Amino acid sequence: MPPPLRIRSARVIVTSPGRNFVTLKIETDQGVYGVGDGTLNGRETAVVAYLEGHVIPALIGRDARSIEDIWQYLYRGAYWRRGPVTMRAIAAVDMALWDIKAKALGVPLYDLLGGPSRDGVLVYGHANGADVEETADEVARYLEAGYKAVRAQTGVPGVAKPYGVSRDKDFYEPAEGELPVETIWSTPAYLRQAPKLFEALRLRFGDEPELLHDVHHRLTPNEAAQLGKSLEPYRLFWMEDPTPAENQEGFAHIRRHTTTPIAVGEVFNSLWDAKELIQSQSIDYLRATVLGCGGITHLRRIADFAAIWQVRTGCHGATDLSPITTACALHFDTWVPNFGIQEYMRHTAATDAVFPHAYSFADGRLHPGDAPGHGADIDEAEAAKHPYVPRQLPVARLTDGTMWNW
Ligand code: EZ4
Ligand code: CO
């Protein structure tokens, strides 16, 4: 047995280079350290309190090589299982421990998972515009930049601030206000508009580019079935989060009525949020992430389970996941046999400066790089320049004022 790598210290670093990120840095007595992401958009300080009050004291002195045992200790040992705060705190620890192990062995993380299964990770970018024409122009920009897959969101007549449409075309960040910004939603207007967008995109760009769309939990199962049917002629790669997945059986209804592929899971915390969806073959892609689902240790287990039913991965990759999560996701994506696609919203230059990383983009794919560990780090001096700024995600109401799903 090699000597243990004792955890000497663990610290939480909160930084806000344009938006908030929570980072856990674990140091060992042999000088090797690792970093993990614990960001929970709009609820960052809850994860900080969980890590500092309940996790870090239990880590000191443990052998950092015991990734599985520490995962089980934090998951079972909490007694109160699952939930976004707990699972992100566990994910932060798990990412840092995989980073330490791979660095100590001098290999890129994907080597520890089983080695590379592909040359580069297919990603999709986010195109959005106030109307169909502006959105199509944005799709064109992504295709010109080499993207092979593009998510398209467009404004809906009569709907102020619809999901996914931003003023800054390069960097979309929905958490804007210290209190939630109020937005308005109209399902009838949206159901009329969405097919017009994808008809226009196929007319302009032909059959080849992969097109994706995020419904962002706004529809009922039957409305989602109607949308899926109306989009079938435009051959989407996926329709995402068509309805909230609290009731997993709702997806079976959508499935019975449309062949438009379905993706779900960016708000999932564990396999138990996805089990019925997978077993009933109601979905095509699972958007669970290393950050949301307790790290690599649990996400690989979910992916193996999903593979039995030919469900593929499509990890969440919005800008509220730090470059540390992006890096871990890319190592996971490079290995996972049932890979589908990876979401990629570019981080700002300020964020990239705080989190130097080994991954890079070329020809529509991201490459994790060959640096030992996951290849992402935090520049603490740079991080200290950007103190925490309270921000929350918006809320949505129907046109008559009724609270709805943002
Ligand atoms: O709204 O991560 O597919 N991507 C998304 C994201 C989510 C944000 C919420 O913090 O739905 O843009
Ligand atoms: Co989404």
Alpha carbons within 13 angstroms on the beta-carbon side of residue 316 total: 24
The pLDDT assigned to 167 comes to 78
174 lines ligand 1 (CB under 6 A): yes
CA distances 7 to 59, 62, 80, 342, Å, are 7, 6, 25, 32
Domains of the chain in start order, with CATH, are 7-107 (3.30.390.10), 113-404 (3.20.20.120)
- Chain length of the chain: 406
Q: Which of 44, 212, 216, 291 to mutate to test the pocket of ligand 1 (most atoms within 8 A of CB)?
A: 216
Residue 390 CA to residue 302 CA, distance in Å, equals 33
The pLDDT assigned to 389 comes to 96
The pLDDT assigned to 70 comes to 98
44 lines ligand 1 (CB under 6 A): no
DSSP label at 88?
H
CA distances 29 to 7, 11, 34, 64, 70, Å, are 6, 15, 12, 10, 17
The pLDDT assigned to 330 comes to 98
Residue 398 CA to residue 374 CA, distance in Å, equals 43
Quick: pLDDT tens for 51-104: 999 999 999 999 999 999 999 999 999 999 999 999 999 999 999 999 999 999
The pLDDT assigned to 161 comes to 83
Separation of CA 151 from chain center: 14
Counting as low any pLDDT under 70, the low residues of the chain are: none
> What pTM value is reported for the model?
0.97
Q: Of the listed 126, 213, 216, 386, which one is catalytic?
A: 216
318 lines ligand 1 (CB under 6 A): yes
State in Å: Cα 12 to ligand 1 middle. Answer: 24
- The three-state secondary structure class of 187 is helix
